[in-house]
Amino acid sequence: MSLYKNRVKAKDKEIKIKEIQMHGTRKGHPE
């Protein structure tokens, strides 16, 4: 159960990072 939760947390982090990166590139900031 905890392993599954950790995986979900990692995925959530990935998605958040990707969203931040996308917003950053949209504002004109390269990766």
Give pLDDT tens digits for 1-31: 688 999 999 999 999 999 888 876 655 555 4
Provide the token pair at 2. Answer: 């905890």
| The token pair that represents 4 in the structure block | 């599954």
Give the model's pLDDT for residue 28. Answer: 55
pLDDT of residue 29: 55
pLDDT score recorded for residue 22? 80
Phi, psi of 30 (to 5 degrees): -65, 160
Neighbours of 24 (CB within 10 A): 12
